[in-house]
Amino acid sequence: MAEMREVFLRKWRKGVGILGLCGLLLFTGCSKQDALPEASSGENPVSGLELQKLTELTEDFSNQVRTVKETEYQNLIFGEDFLVTAPEAEKVYDLELTRKPALPAEELLQKFDALVDFQWEDVYSDEEKEELYRYWPLGGVGRNDSLKYPYSYPSFLENFEKLKNGEAKLTMLFMDTEQGYLTLDGSGYVQYLNGNKTARRYKASAEGALAGPYMPKGYFADYRDTSSTDSYPLLGGEVRICDAVREAEELIGQGIYGDFGDFQPKVVRVRPVELEEGEDGYRLEFSCAYKGLNLAVANLGEYGGGFSVSSMSDDRKMDLTPGVAFMLEKGKLDVLVGCFSFEYDVKEREAYDSVLSFAEGVRLMSEAFSPTMRLTVREAQLCYARFQVNEESDEEEYAEASWEFVAENENDGRVYHIFINALNGYCFYYTE
């Protein structure tokens, strides 16, 4: 069980296995004539493009959306439920992202203590914390079933001096108790939290005594509109979707789960989860925004314990890992996964005040695909597409402004995430 937990967290942390990304031209579910052209690239932009000032685009956005929906395209359909997010940025940037370094042991302990006290106020004494605080050594550790807490992982406080002077190194600080489960990345960000009373009620641990990592499974509805006023019964009363989104963003963004710096947590999808008759919860998938634009993230799907991308149309490796938060009780987060998405120092390499218009992005998308395809466009946004500099490491990444379109191919039922670089028109996609 301990090995499974470590593998689960490591895979979520690095995106290996869960992402299932590949740089192959698989184009699953479409023929060669349906596939995107390979001629254009980031270094060789599409010729003849006209850019529009972002301030003008914002003012004219509703008109462009209306015009696009009224236009007949050979291969695009915009239905009544098409959801588009208007850009809120005055400029876009080429971004350079570098993972923040590990914190000194003293600072990491302070953050962990603060989070434990925030989640479980007055539950743990100093003596209990000394026993409960454990760490993953760099390079891993063996299993010892004879130990109570938990499985031969060394005590953080007993090895505190070694960790301070560099004799011992860690990847994560964590605790696993009857009250809940918490892991904090070495650079001070929550990787996994499971620990308020509703989470413990529904935990699926076969061991019983310890909480372990846990996510409620399944959902019965799927909302893309995070401003919806529809409500569901949570523990403590009815809560509207828009209020759950606002409260979750405020809780995540206040810094207790990690200092997000220039990033702002943003919920991008909400799924009501049925827990018991007459009692529901919300699963909130979140990204973050940089100066008004979200980082593109994948759709987690029904299970929620991971996601897969079945094919990519170029050889770059995207970072699409979303964060997940569960609100099962009004105003509280019972399960939280993946705040590490924000733990980057950001550098603006170039700034631009003009981009492809929404209408131009739609035109390029239509031209990129065969006229025989039937793509029903569900969603659109101006966002940042994030890529790893080195395929073997996520320590350095870069991000570029792009129009993202989410569309279902009626020919094969697959969902396509299509990206048009907002500066040069380069087009690529992946499929769910």
DSSP 161-197: HHHHHTSS-EEEEEEE-SS-EEEEETTS-EEEEE-SH
For residue 176, tell me if it sits in a domain.
Answer: yes
Rounded to whole angstroms, the Cα distance separating 394 from 176 reads 27
For residue 286, being part of any structural domain is answered with yes
Predicted TM-score (pTM) of the model is 0.84
Same-domain pairing of 68 and 131: no
3-state secondary structure at position 121? coil
| For helices 358-368 and 54-70, angle between their N-to-C axes, nearest 10 degrees | 50
Q: Are residues 131 and 41 in the same domain?
A: no
Q: Is residue 196 part of a domain?
A: no
Query: Which residue, 206, 209, 214, is CA-closest to 179?
Result: 209
Residue 26 lies in a domain: no
* Structural domain includes residue 202: no
Range of the domain at 51: 34-98+347-431
User: What was the pLDDT predicted at 11?
Assistant: 38
Q: 3-state DSSP call for residue 6? A: helix
How many CB atoms are located within 10 Å of the residue 183 CB?
25
The answer to whether residues 276 and 356 belong to one domain is no
Q: State which amino acid sits at residue 378.
A: R
Same domain, yes or no: 259 and 297: yes
Contact 137, 154 (CB under 8 A): yes
Looking at the fold, whether 51 and 124 belong to one and the same domain comes out as: no
Burial of 39 (0-12, 13-18, 19+ CB in 10 A): exposed
Instruction: Please say which residue of 152, 186, 220 terminates a domain.
Output: 186
365, part of any domain: yes
Query: Domain ends where: 186, 208, 239?
Result: 186
State the burial class of residue 126 (Cβ atoms within 10 Å of its Cβ: 0-12, 13-18, 19+): exposed
* Domain final residue pick, 160, 186, 212: 186
| Whether 245 and 262 share a structural domain | yes
- Indicate the helix (H) or strand (E) that contains 249: helix 241-253
In contact, 381 and 422? CB cutoff 8 Å: no
**Domain annotation covers residue 352:** yes
Residues near 331 by Cβ (< 8 Å), separated by ≥ 6?
Answer: 236, 247, 251
Whether residue 332 sits in one domain with residue 271: yes
> Do 66 and 165 belong together in one domain?
no
Q: Which of 226, 124, 135, 115 is nearest to 178 (CA)?
A: 124
Q: Tell me how many domains the chain contains.
A: 3
Residue 268 in domain: yes
Same domain? 294 vs 252: yes
Q: 48 and 79 share a domain?
A: yes
Residue 388 confidence (pLDDT):
86
Classify residue 172 by burial, with Cβ atoms within 10 Å: 0-12, 13-18, 19+.
buried
95: which residues sit within 8 A by CB, 6+ positions away? Answer: 290, 346, 347, 348, 349, 384, 398, 399, 400
69 and 171 in a single domain? The answer is no
Name the stretches of the chain with pLDDT < 50: 1-44, 149-150, 204-206, 305
* Spatial contact of 291 and 93, defined as CB atoms under 8 Å apart: yes
77/108 same-domain check: no
Per the structure block, which two tokens stand in for 350?
Answer: 């170039």
